[in-house]
Structure 1
Amino acid sequence: MKTKLPFLLMLLYLLVPHQNKAQQAPQYTQYIFNELIINPAYSGSKDILNINATYRTQWTGLEGAPTTQTLSVDGPARNARMGWGIHLINDMAGAQSQTGVYTNVATRVNLSRTAKLSFGIAGGVSQYVLDGTKLNAGDDIPDGAIPDERESQILPDAKVGVFFNTERFYTGLSAANLIPFRDDKTVITTPRRHYFLSSGYMFDLGPYVHLKPSFLIKHDFNGPANLDLNAFLLLYNRFWVGGSYRTSIPVFTDVNMDEIKKRNAWAILAQIYATPKFRIGYSYDVSLTKMSDYSSHEVSLGYSFFRKQNGRTITPRNL
């Protein structure tokens, strides 16, 4: 017998997105170590080949809760002013899922010896699926609003971004889900257009201790903007530890404080370089709402390939 999602989850993941003709983009916590997943202009910014994988399970223990897996590869091109990247994503939330692949290209301009400005674009395709066999519509849902079978569509997508960095400072602005899709004949929904603004700075607190505060604003202009405030310590250039506070702010929209509080959450994160090339990261998120009984977990793995340039070995920067 096939498992049916509870009626409440069906409303959360199907009806609300369908009314807006869009669903929310996947949530990440460890983007601070791999901004390629939110900004294509980040491609090749570390001047070495990087491989990153992430597995996230949100609201663990809640039936139909989101899970997300990503795999990304990026590095510099033979032309020193170009960077490239590939990003794969598999995101599932209840009866809905998205599986996509993107190819990134970035061009970089050297503004000074340490300052670079990059412009990037990503193009790809995603398969969106709504599995009606996992849903229990109940008696209050009109006939035909919920499909009886599995429906899927393959659709194009695009992203653009700009990224500026020095040895200590970075800031980036990007837009995702640029190709709109509307079809009243299907209940398939795609993420609405999202905009990302991020920035951070590295401070020296001593020869072996560094502080990196940063923030991320994510906005879709259909509600309050999501704001992440982050602070991390880097110890002996091998161990990261810190935390994030996630909330919402009214930008270009009018919302009351009760709506803002519904999005509050905090996270703690640790990452260790097991070897100079291989890193392991873990984050633990807890919502400060009624969902606080369901925590979220995210695990990341990264590997870097060092290279030599002008007789010296190029290693990853900490930004």
Structure 2
Amino acid sequence: MRKHILISLLLLLHLSAFSQQLPHFSQYMLNGFLINPALAGSENYAEIKTGYRNQWAGVEGAPESYYLTAHMPLGKMNMNTTATSVPYRGRNGSKALFKAYTKRDVTLAQPHHGLGFTAITDKAGALKRSDFGLTYAYHLPLNKELKMSAGITGGLSAYKVDEESLQLTDPNDPTFTGGNYNRVKPNITAGLLLYSKRFYIGSASSQILQDELTGSLSQDDSNEASSRVHHYLMGGYKVMFTPNLSMLPSVLVKYASPAPLSVDANLKLLYKDKAWIGGSYRQNNDFVLLGGLNMNNLLQVGYAYDMATSGIGRIGGGAHEVVLGILINNNGKIFSPSDFW
């Protein structure tokens, strides 16, 4: 009984810390595949990205999250003329790139598939969660400029409590023997995306298979701690001011009952599509500073700093996040706006 109570408290603390059960990454705009599996294979190349987030660095046992993702197109044709990609400016120059954004497409892209892989680990105090998933997506052109895609990720979520980090009055307490609080659960995420080279709008739902995490704490089943479905609605539009300067406003709406609705408003400024700075604002008065580089269309580096103005974030000192991306087989040296969503 006490074991179930302890684990439930850990889960509830973790839930209240994030306002959700899933880890949050401020640079989801640099890796939308983390949220929406419909993005798998949207590029003209394979990409591998890894990220690390240190939340409330000044608090002992504060949350740490890190991930590794990879996805690639399968059967994609017309690699230089698709719904999202435009010629690399190093080959055709800034004016040609600007013209490619403003003119209408003249060729119809063909349907193609996307494959992906995701590994995410989230640790807070003694509680650790690891998610692993395989993704399939299908991309269907609706006209010469617009595409729609649907994706699904199936995998496992593993929950573990580190007994050694728990400080017990009685180390031999039989309550904590047997390790029954370590669980492995199936997990499904599904998403839809409507996109072009100028805008995108999409939705996704994760933890579709809701399941009990801790077992019943009492005869009242209403006290059970269970996984919750997380819903996301996202959208953004790229505004080209000059051949060298563009702006990307975007929004992300998140909801997971019983947590309240959460909204992120984002704005990024890009110079030559090679360097960007920007910021995000969350409705709970949190601000995020963003910056990054796209180097030779082979390597991407991004950094984010969360400045919390209320709650434990003020004591913990905010959060630091770093993302590194590698583009593989980018033979056409193509740049895709979705890298900066």
Q: TM-score range by the shorter chain?
A: 0.7 to 0.9
Give runs of aligned pairs for residues 7-156 of structure 1, distance below 5 A: 13-16=10-13, 24-78=21-75, 80-136=111-167, 147=176, 150=179, 151-156=181-186
Aligned-partner Cα distance in 2 for 1:302–1:25: 22
Asked if the contact 2:69/2:117 (under 8 Å) is kept, the reply is yes
- Are residues 1:270 and 2:263 paired? no
The count of aligned residue pairs is 286
User: Highest relative contact order (Cα 8 Å, sep 6+), 1 or 2?
Assistant: 2
- Paired residues of 2:292 and 2:302 also in contact (CA < 8 A): yes
Whether the 8 Å contact between 2:38 and 2:152 is mirrored in structure 1 is yes
CA distance in 1 between partners of 2:132 and 2:298 (Å): 25
Measure, in 2, the Cα distance between the counterparts of 1:159 and 1:14.
Answer: 21
Which residue pairs with 1:161 in the alignment? 191
1:305 CA displacement: 2.2
Greater share of strand residues, 1 or 2?
Answer: 1
Counterparts of 1:298 and 1:18 in 2: how far apart (Å)?
Answer: 20
Supply the distance in 1 between the matched residues of 2:59 and 2:14 (Cα, whole angstroms): 19
Within a 5 Å distance, the mapping from 1:152-191 to structure 2 comes to: 152-182=182-212, 185=215, 191=227
RMSD: 2.8
Confirm whether residue 238 of structure 1 aligns to residue 274 of structure 2.
Answer: yes
Query: How much does 1:167 deviate?
Result: 0.5
Q: What percentage of residue pairs aligned between the two structures are identical?
A: 30
Distance 1:30 1:23 in 2: 17
In the alignment, which of 303, 311, 314 is matched to residue 326 of structure 2? 303
Are residues 1:317 and 2:314 paired? no
CA drift at 1:132: 4.0
Helix, strand or coil at the partner of 2:211: coil
Amino acid at match of 2:36: N
Is 1:194 paired with 2:230? yes
The one-character-per-residue Cα deviations of 1:190-245 (angstroms, maximum 9, x if unpaired) are: 64210011100000111100000001011013131111100000112210100000
AA of the residue aligned to 1:121: I
In structure 1, distance between residues paired with 2:15 and 2:119: 25
- Structure 2, unaligned runs of 5 or more: 1-6, 77-110, 218-223
User: In structure 2, do the counterparts of structure 1 residues 208 and 23 end up closer, same or farther at CA, with 3 Å as the change threshold?
Assistant: closer
CA distance in 1, matches of 2:226, 2:167: 22
Counterparts of 2:237 and 2:190 in 1: how far apart (Å)?
A: 23
Show structure 1 runs of 5+ residues with no match.
Answer: 1-9, 248-262
Question: Offset of 1:17 from its aligned partner?
Answer: 6.0
- 1: CA distance, partners of 2:119 / 2:167: 31
Displacement of 1:44: 0.8
The alpha carbon displacement at 1:33 in A equals 1.1
Task: Spell out the pairing of 1:283-294 with structure 2 (5 A cutoff).
Answer: 283-290=304-311, 291-294=313-316
Which structure has the greater CA radius of gyration?
2
